[in-house]
Structure 1
Amino acid sequence: MERFLKKYYAITDRKQFKYDFEIQIKRMLDSGIRMFQLREKDLPSDEFFDLASKLGKLLSGYDASFFVNDRVDVAVLTGANGVHLPSKSIPIETVKHKFPFLIVGKSCHSVEEAVRAEKEGADYITFSPIFETPGKGKPKGLKALKEVVEAVSIPVYALGGITEEAIPEVLKIGVYGIAGIRLFIK
Protein backbone atom coordinates (compact mmCIF):
# COMPACT_ATOMS: atom_id res chain seq x y z
CA MET A 1 0.00 0.00 0.00
CA GLU A 2 2.73 2.48 0.92
CA ARG A 3 4.25 2.19 -2.55
CA PHE A 4 1.13 4.02 -3.77
CA LEU A 5 1.51 6.85 -1.26
CA LYS A 6 3.94 9.48 -2.47
CA LYS A 7 5.47 12.46 -0.66
CA TYR A 8 3.65 15.08 -2.78
CA TYR A 9 -0.08 14.72 -3.33
CA ALA A 10 -1.87 16.97 -5.84
CA ILE A 11 -5.61 17.52 -5.51
CA THR A 12 -7.30 18.69 -8.68
CA ASP A 13 -9.39 21.80 -9.10
CA ARG A 14 -9.55 22.53 -12.81
CA LYS A 15 -11.11 25.95 -12.09
CA GLN A 16 -7.78 27.00 -10.56
CA PHE A 17 -5.62 25.38 -13.25
CA LYS A 18 -3.61 27.77 -15.40
CA TYR A 19 -3.77 25.39 -18.39
CA ASP A 20 -6.35 22.93 -19.67
CA PHE A 21 -6.71 19.77 -17.60
CA GLU A 22 -4.45 17.50 -19.64
CA ILE A 23 -1.63 20.02 -19.98
CA GLN A 24 -1.81 20.94 -16.27
CA ILE A 25 -1.59 17.26 -15.21
CA LYS A 26 1.36 16.69 -17.56
CA ARG A 27 3.11 19.76 -16.12
CA MET A 28 2.59 18.36 -12.62
CA LEU A 29 3.96 15.00 -13.71
CA ASP A 30 6.96 16.73 -15.29
CA SER A 31 7.61 18.49 -11.96
CA GLY A 32 7.69 15.12 -10.17
CA ILE A 33 4.19 14.85 -8.68
CA ARG A 34 3.18 11.18 -8.54
CA MET A 35 -0.03 11.17 -6.47
CA PHE A 36 -3.28 12.73 -7.65
CA GLN A 37 -6.79 13.05 -6.25
CA LEU A 38 -9.59 13.91 -8.67
CA ARG A 39 -11.80 16.21 -6.63
CA GLU A 40 -13.99 18.12 -9.13
CA LYS A 41 -17.10 18.38 -6.91
CA ASP A 42 -19.12 20.49 -9.34
CA LEU A 43 -19.23 17.98 -12.20
CA PRO A 44 -22.25 15.79 -12.94
CA SER A 45 -21.56 12.05 -12.68
CA ASP A 46 -21.05 11.45 -16.40
CA GLU A 47 -18.49 14.24 -16.76
CA PHE A 48 -16.75 13.25 -13.53
CA PHE A 49 -16.47 9.66 -14.77
CA ASP A 50 -15.07 10.85 -18.11
CA LEU A 51 -12.50 13.06 -16.39
CA ALA A 52 -11.51 10.21 -14.03
CA SER A 53 -11.01 7.94 -17.03
CA LYS A 54 -8.92 10.64 -18.72
CA LEU A 55 -6.80 11.14 -15.60
CA GLY A 56 -6.20 7.40 -15.32
CA LYS A 57 -4.95 7.32 -18.92
CA LEU A 58 -2.75 10.39 -18.42
CA LEU A 59 -1.06 8.75 -15.42
CA SER A 60 -0.43 5.38 -17.10
CA GLY A 61 3.24 4.89 -17.85
CA TYR A 62 4.25 6.89 -14.78
CA ASP A 63 4.78 5.50 -11.30
CA ALA A 64 1.78 7.60 -10.28
CA SER A 65 -1.13 6.90 -7.95
CA PHE A 66 -4.71 7.97 -8.59
CA PHE A 67 -7.45 8.58 -6.03
CA VAL A 68 -11.03 9.68 -6.52
CA ASN A 69 -12.72 12.07 -4.13
CA ASP A 70 -15.71 10.48 -2.34
CA ARG A 71 -16.96 8.48 -5.35
CA VAL A 72 -16.22 4.82 -4.65
CA ASP A 73 -18.16 3.80 -7.76
CA VAL A 74 -16.01 5.97 -10.03
CA ALA A 75 -12.82 4.81 -8.30
CA VAL A 76 -13.70 1.16 -8.91
CA LEU A 77 -14.94 1.65 -12.48
CA THR A 78 -11.89 3.64 -13.58
CA GLY A 79 -9.28 1.44 -11.89
CA ALA A 80 -8.12 4.11 -9.45
CA ASN A 81 -5.78 3.07 -6.65
CA GLY A 82 -8.17 4.36 -4.05
CA VAL A 83 -10.77 6.77 -2.79
CA HIS A 84 -10.40 9.79 -0.55
CA LEU A 85 -13.37 10.34 1.75
CA PRO A 86 -14.35 13.77 3.09
CA SER A 87 -14.80 14.10 6.85
CA LYS A 88 -18.56 13.53 6.47
CA SER A 89 -18.83 10.59 4.10
CA ILE A 90 -19.68 6.92 3.92
CA PRO A 91 -18.07 4.62 6.52
CA ILE A 92 -14.49 3.56 5.86
CA GLU A 93 -15.28 0.04 7.08
CA THR A 94 -17.97 -0.38 4.43
CA VAL A 95 -15.62 0.62 1.63
CA LYS A 96 -12.84 -1.64 2.95
CA HIS A 97 -15.24 -4.58 3.33
CA LYS A 98 -16.76 -4.31 -0.15
CA PHE A 99 -13.62 -3.17 -1.98
CA PRO A 100 -10.58 -4.43 -0.05
CA PHE A 101 -8.28 -3.59 -2.97
CA LEU A 102 -8.96 0.17 -2.63
CA ILE A 103 -6.68 2.39 -0.58
CA VAL A 104 -8.91 4.61 1.57
CA GLY A 105 -7.92 8.06 2.74
CA LYS A 106 -9.89 10.37 5.00
CA SER A 107 -10.00 14.14 5.52
CA CYS A 108 -9.53 15.09 9.17
CA HIS A 109 -9.64 18.38 11.02
CA SER A 110 -8.88 17.35 14.62
CA VAL A 111 -6.88 14.81 16.60
CA GLU A 112 -10.13 13.02 17.48
CA GLU A 113 -11.13 12.68 13.83
CA ALA A 114 -7.65 11.39 12.95
CA VAL A 115 -7.71 8.74 15.70
CA ARG A 116 -11.22 7.69 14.69
CA ALA A 117 -10.24 7.44 10.99
CA GLU A 118 -7.31 5.19 11.90
CA LYS A 119 -9.54 2.96 14.08
CA GLU A 120 -12.09 2.72 11.26
CA GLY A 121 -9.39 1.46 8.88
CA ALA A 122 -8.17 4.50 6.92
CA ASP A 123 -4.89 3.85 5.15
CA TYR A 124 -3.88 7.50 5.37
CA ILE A 125 -5.34 10.87 6.34
CA THR A 126 -5.09 14.48 5.31
CA PHE A 127 -5.09 17.05 8.10
CA SER A 128 -6.16 20.60 7.32
CA PRO A 129 -6.01 23.50 7.07
CA ILE A 130 -2.49 23.95 8.37
CA PHE A 131 -2.20 27.59 7.31
CA GLU A 132 -4.64 30.25 6.09
CA THR A 133 -6.44 29.21 2.93
CA PRO A 134 -9.56 30.71 1.34
CA GLY A 135 -12.86 29.34 2.64
CA LYS A 136 -11.39 26.65 4.88
CA GLY A 137 -11.82 28.16 8.32
CA LYS A 138 -9.33 28.90 11.04
CA PRO A 139 -5.87 27.39 10.42
CA LYS A 140 -4.92 24.49 12.71
CA GLY A 141 -1.21 25.32 12.72
CA LEU A 142 1.92 23.23 13.11
CA LYS A 143 1.33 22.42 16.79
CA ALA A 144 -1.98 20.69 16.01
CA LEU A 145 -0.37 18.94 13.04
CA LYS A 146 2.36 17.57 15.32
CA GLU A 147 -0.31 16.33 17.77
CA VAL A 148 -2.05 14.44 14.94
CA VAL A 149 1.22 12.92 13.67
CA GLU A 150 1.99 11.72 17.20
CA ALA A 151 -1.54 10.39 17.81
CA VAL A 152 -1.76 8.04 14.79
CA SER A 153 0.48 5.47 13.17
CA ILE A 154 -0.91 5.81 9.63
CA PRO A 155 0.54 8.28 7.10
CA VAL A 156 -0.52 11.90 7.61
CA TYR A 157 -0.56 14.45 4.80
CA ALA A 158 -0.47 18.14 5.71
CA LEU A 159 -2.91 20.21 3.63
CA GLY A 160 -4.00 23.81 3.40
CA GLY A 161 -2.17 27.03 2.67
CA ILE A 162 1.25 25.39 2.45
CA THR A 163 3.68 27.36 0.31
CA GLU A 164 6.85 26.08 -1.29
CA GLU A 165 8.86 28.01 1.32
CA ALA A 166 6.96 26.35 4.19
CA ILE A 167 7.49 22.76 2.97
CA PRO A 168 10.74 22.12 4.96
CA GLU A 169 9.16 23.42 8.17
CA VAL A 170 6.06 21.24 7.67
CA LEU A 171 8.11 18.14 6.82
CA LYS A 172 10.11 18.58 10.07
CA ILE A 173 6.90 17.82 11.97
CA GLY A 174 7.12 14.23 10.76
CA VAL A 175 4.29 14.15 8.24
CA TYR A 176 4.33 11.50 5.55
CA GLY A 177 3.83 14.12 2.86
CA ILE A 178 2.34 17.36 1.63
CA ALA A 179 -1.02 17.64 -0.14
CA GLY A 180 -2.27 20.67 -1.98
CA ILE A 181 -4.14 22.25 -4.84
CA ARG A 182 -2.59 25.68 -5.47
CA LEU A 183 0.84 24.55 -4.25
CA PHE A 184 1.35 22.32 -7.29
CA ILE A 185 -0.17 24.59 -9.95
CA LYS A 186 2.69 26.42 -11.63
Structure 2
Amino acid sequence: MLRYAITSRALYPGSEQEKQAALLREASRWIADGIDFIQLREKDLPAATLANLARNLLENIALTASPTRLLINSRPDIALATGAHGVHLTASPDELSPAQIRDLFHSAGRPKPLITLSCHSLAEVQRARREQVDAIVFAPVFEKPLADGQKLPGQGLDQLRAACIAAAPIPIFALGGVTIENASECLEAGAAGVAGIRLFHRS
Protein backbone atom coordinates (compact mmCIF):
# COMPACT_ATOMS: atom_id res chain seq x y z
CA MET A 1 0.00 0.00 0.00
CA LEU A 2 1.40 3.37 -1.04
CA ARG A 3 1.20 6.16 1.55
CA TYR A 4 0.71 9.86 0.85
CA ALA A 5 0.93 12.19 3.86
CA ILE A 6 -0.36 15.76 3.66
CA THR A 7 1.04 18.28 6.11
CA SER A 8 -0.96 20.53 8.44
CA ARG A 9 0.94 22.42 11.10
CA ALA A 10 -2.46 23.72 12.32
CA LEU A 11 -2.86 20.41 14.16
CA TYR A 12 -0.12 21.39 16.61
CA PRO A 13 -0.32 23.76 19.59
CA GLY A 14 1.95 26.67 20.35
CA SER A 15 3.49 29.57 18.48
CA GLU A 16 4.12 29.61 14.74
CA GLN A 17 7.72 28.51 15.32
CA GLU A 18 6.57 25.66 17.59
CA LYS A 19 4.02 24.50 15.01
CA GLN A 20 6.66 24.42 12.28
CA ALA A 21 9.12 22.59 14.53
CA ALA A 22 6.46 20.00 15.43
CA LEU A 23 5.62 19.53 11.76
CA LEU A 24 9.27 18.97 10.88
CA ARG A 25 9.59 16.39 13.67
CA GLU A 26 6.50 14.56 12.42
CA ALA A 27 7.68 14.63 8.81
CA SER A 28 11.08 13.34 9.93
CA ARG A 29 9.28 10.31 11.36
CA TRP A 30 7.50 9.77 8.02
CA ILE A 31 10.78 10.05 6.14
CA ALA A 32 12.51 7.57 8.46
CA ASP A 33 9.55 5.23 7.93
CA GLY A 34 9.98 5.48 4.14
CA ILE A 35 6.56 6.98 3.44
CA ASP A 36 6.09 7.31 -0.33
CA PHE A 37 4.97 10.95 -0.68
CA ILE A 38 4.80 14.04 1.49
CA GLN A 39 2.70 16.91 0.20
CA LEU A 40 3.82 20.17 1.81
CA ARG A 41 0.48 21.98 2.06
CA GLU A 42 1.02 25.03 4.25
CA LYS A 43 -0.79 27.36 1.86
CA ASP A 44 -0.86 30.40 4.14
CA LEU A 45 2.90 30.59 4.69
CA PRO A 46 5.10 33.18 2.94
CA ALA A 47 7.16 31.75 0.08
CA ALA A 48 10.47 32.09 1.94
CA THR A 49 9.16 30.20 4.98
CA LEU A 50 7.62 27.48 2.81
CA ALA A 51 10.90 27.13 0.92
CA ASN A 52 12.80 26.82 4.20
CA LEU A 53 10.50 24.00 5.35
CA ALA A 54 10.93 22.26 2.00
CA ARG A 55 14.73 22.48 2.20
CA ASN A 56 14.67 21.04 5.71
CA LEU A 57 12.60 18.08 4.54
CA LEU A 58 14.73 17.50 1.44
CA GLU A 59 17.91 17.55 3.53
CA ASN A 60 16.39 14.96 5.85
CA ILE A 61 15.38 12.78 2.89
CA ALA A 62 18.92 12.97 1.50
CA LEU A 63 20.63 12.28 4.85
CA THR A 64 18.53 9.18 5.49
CA ALA A 65 18.57 7.98 1.86
CA SER A 66 14.79 7.70 2.16
CA PRO A 67 12.60 6.84 -0.86
CA THR A 68 10.17 9.60 0.21
CA ARG A 69 9.28 12.13 -2.49
CA LEU A 70 8.41 15.71 -1.57
CA LEU A 71 5.64 17.52 -3.45
CA ILE A 72 4.84 21.21 -2.99
CA ASN A 73 1.16 22.10 -3.05
CA SER A 74 0.33 24.43 -5.99
CA ARG A 75 3.76 26.13 -5.95
CA PRO A 76 5.95 24.99 -8.86
CA ASP A 77 8.17 28.03 -8.25
CA ILE A 78 9.05 26.79 -4.77
CA ALA A 79 9.46 23.23 -6.03
CA LEU A 80 11.96 24.52 -8.59
CA ALA A 81 13.77 26.79 -6.13
CA THR A 82 14.25 24.07 -3.53
CA GLY A 83 14.80 21.01 -5.70
CA ALA A 84 11.61 19.28 -4.55
CA HIS A 85 10.58 16.17 -6.45
CA GLY A 86 7.38 17.63 -7.82
CA VAL A 87 4.13 19.50 -7.42
CA HIS A 88 0.60 18.72 -6.28
CA LEU A 89 -2.17 20.51 -8.17
CA THR A 90 -5.83 21.08 -7.46
CA ALA A 91 -8.49 20.73 -10.15
CA SER A 92 -8.96 24.53 -10.18
CA PRO A 93 -8.93 26.08 -13.67
CA ASP A 94 -6.63 28.78 -12.24
CA GLU A 95 -3.79 26.28 -11.74
CA LEU A 96 -1.03 25.77 -14.28
CA SER A 97 -1.56 22.59 -16.28
CA PRO A 98 0.69 19.55 -15.83
CA ALA A 99 2.12 20.23 -19.30
CA GLN A 100 2.98 23.82 -18.35
CA ILE A 101 4.71 22.65 -15.18
CA ARG A 102 6.74 20.07 -17.10
CA ASP A 103 7.77 22.83 -19.53
CA LEU A 104 8.86 25.03 -16.60
CA PHE A 105 11.07 22.29 -15.18
CA HIS A 106 12.47 21.46 -18.63
CA SER A 107 13.27 25.14 -19.31
CA ALA A 108 15.09 25.29 -15.96
CA GLY A 109 17.16 22.24 -16.90
CA ARG A 110 15.60 20.22 -14.12
CA PRO A 111 14.48 16.55 -14.17
CA LYS A 112 10.87 15.85 -15.08
CA PRO A 113 8.74 16.60 -11.99
CA LEU A 114 6.32 14.24 -10.31
CA ILE A 115 2.82 15.69 -10.60
CA THR A 116 -0.17 14.61 -8.53
CA LEU A 117 -3.65 16.06 -8.96
CA SER A 118 -6.72 16.30 -6.72
CA CYS A 119 -9.92 15.00 -8.34
CA HIS A 120 -13.48 15.02 -7.01
CA SER A 121 -15.40 13.61 -9.99
CA LEU A 122 -15.02 11.07 -12.77
CA ALA A 123 -14.78 13.91 -15.30
CA GLU A 124 -11.80 15.34 -13.43
CA VAL A 125 -10.21 11.88 -13.24
CA GLN A 126 -10.59 11.44 -17.01
CA ARG A 127 -9.00 14.85 -17.60
CA ALA A 128 -6.12 13.99 -15.27
CA ARG A 129 -5.56 10.76 -17.18
CA ARG A 130 -5.41 12.65 -20.48
CA GLU A 131 -2.87 15.02 -18.93
CA GLN A 132 -0.77 12.03 -17.88
CA VAL A 133 -0.25 13.01 -14.27
CA ASP A 134 1.81 10.64 -12.12
CA ALA A 135 -0.92 10.01 -9.54
CA ILE A 136 -4.43 11.15 -8.64
CA VAL A 137 -5.72 11.96 -5.16
CA PHE A 138 -9.46 11.15 -5.21
CA ALA A 139 -11.69 12.65 -2.51
CA PRO A 140 -13.71 12.48 -0.42
CA VAL A 141 -14.18 8.74 -0.23
CA PHE A 142 -15.78 8.54 3.22
CA GLU A 143 -17.84 11.02 5.22
CA LYS A 144 -15.58 13.62 6.76
CA PRO A 145 -16.24 15.95 9.72
CA LEU A 146 -15.59 19.63 9.01
CA ALA A 147 -14.20 22.25 11.37
CA ASP A 148 -17.60 23.92 11.79
CA GLY A 149 -19.23 20.72 13.01
CA GLN A 150 -20.86 19.92 9.67
CA LYS A 151 -20.10 16.71 7.78
CA LEU A 152 -18.91 16.42 4.20
CA PRO A 153 -20.59 13.36 2.66
CA GLY A 154 -18.28 10.79 1.11
CA GLN A 155 -18.60 9.58 -2.47
CA GLY A 156 -18.30 5.97 -1.40
CA LEU A 157 -16.31 2.94 -2.44
CA ASP A 158 -18.27 2.36 -5.65
CA GLN A 159 -17.31 5.82 -6.91
CA LEU A 160 -13.71 5.19 -5.87
CA ARG A 161 -13.78 1.94 -7.82
CA ALA A 162 -15.14 3.74 -10.90
CA ALA A 163 -12.46 6.40 -10.54
CA CYS A 164 -9.71 3.76 -10.39
CA ILE A 165 -11.04 2.15 -13.57
CA ALA A 166 -11.26 5.53 -15.32
CA ALA A 167 -7.74 6.50 -14.24
CA ALA A 168 -5.92 3.27 -15.14
CA PRO A 169 -2.99 2.88 -15.43
CA ILE A 170 -2.48 6.04 -13.33
CA PRO A 171 -2.52 5.17 -9.60
CA ILE A 172 -5.16 6.63 -7.32
CA PHE A 173 -4.79 7.57 -3.66
CA ALA A 174 -7.99 7.49 -1.60
CA LEU A 175 -8.47 10.61 0.54
CA GLY A 176 -11.18 11.79 2.90
CA GLY A 177 -12.25 9.97 6.03
CA VAL A 178 -9.69 7.22 5.44
CA THR A 179 -8.64 5.39 8.62
CA ILE A 180 -6.41 2.46 9.47
CA GLU A 181 -9.61 0.40 9.74
CA ASN A 182 -11.07 1.21 6.30
CA ALA A 183 -7.85 1.56 4.29
CA SER A 184 -8.05 -2.07 3.13
CA GLU A 185 -11.48 -1.38 1.62
CA CYS A 186 -9.91 1.37 -0.51
CA LEU A 187 -7.28 -1.06 -1.78
CA GLU A 188 -9.95 -3.64 -2.57
CA ALA A 189 -11.75 -0.97 -4.62
CA GLY A 190 -8.61 -0.52 -6.72
CA ALA A 191 -6.73 2.31 -5.02
CA ALA A 192 -2.95 2.07 -5.07
CA GLY A 193 -2.74 3.66 -1.66
CA VAL A 194 -4.21 6.09 0.85
CA ALA A 195 -3.70 9.78 1.47
CA GLY A 196 -4.50 11.82 4.51
CA ILE A 197 -3.72 14.54 7.00
CA ARG A 198 -4.92 13.24 10.36
CA LEU A 199 -4.34 9.67 9.20
CA PHE A 200 -0.58 10.23 9.46
CA HIS A 201 -0.25 12.95 12.10
CA ARG A 202 0.11 11.33 15.51
CA SER A 203 -1.71 14.26 17.11
In the superposition, the TM-score normalised over structure 2's length comes to: 0.83
String of CA shifts for 1:107-161, please: whole Å, max 9, x gaps. Answer: 0000100000111221211000111223483311111100000112211111111
> What are the residue-to-residue correspondences of 1:1-186 with 2, within 5 Å?
7-17=2-12, 20-60=22-62, 61-88=65-92, 89-100=95-106, 101-135=112-146, 137-153=152-168, 154-186=170-202
Q: Distance in 2 between matches of 1:133 and 1:54?
A: 31
Q: Distance in 2 between matches of 1:55 and 1:63?
A: 12
2:144/2:176 contact within 8 Å kept = yes
2:98/2:115 contact within 8 Å kept = yes
2:31/2:60 contact within 8 Å kept = no
Between the aligned residues of both structures, percent identity stands at: 38
Is there any run of 5+ residues in structure 1 with no aligned partner, and where? 1-5
One-letter amino acid of the counterpart of residue 74, structure 1: I
Quote how far apart the aligned CAs of 1:174 are.
1.3
Q: Distance in 1 between matches of 2:143 and 2:118?
A: 17
Aligned length, in residue pairs: 181
Question: Per the alignment, in what secondary structure is the counterpart of residue 170 of structure 1?
Answer: helix
Quote how far apart the aligned CAs of 1:31 are.
4.3
Quote how far apart the aligned CAs of 1:30 are.
4.2
Is there any run of 5+ residues in structure 2 with no aligned partner, and where? 14-20, 107-111
Which is higher, the Rg of structure 1 or of structure 2?
2
Structure 1's consecutive aligned runs of 4 or more residues displaced over 6 angstroms after TM superposition are none
String of CA shifts for 1:83-111, please: whole Å, max 9, x gaps. Answer: 00011122122112332511111100001
Instruction: Flag the 1:165–1:71 CA change in 2: closer, same or farther, 3 A.
Output: same
Q: Distance in 2 between matches of 1:143 and 1:17?
A: 34
In the superposition, the TM-score normalised over structure 1's length comes to: 0.90
Quote how far apart the aligned CAs of 1:58 are.
2.0
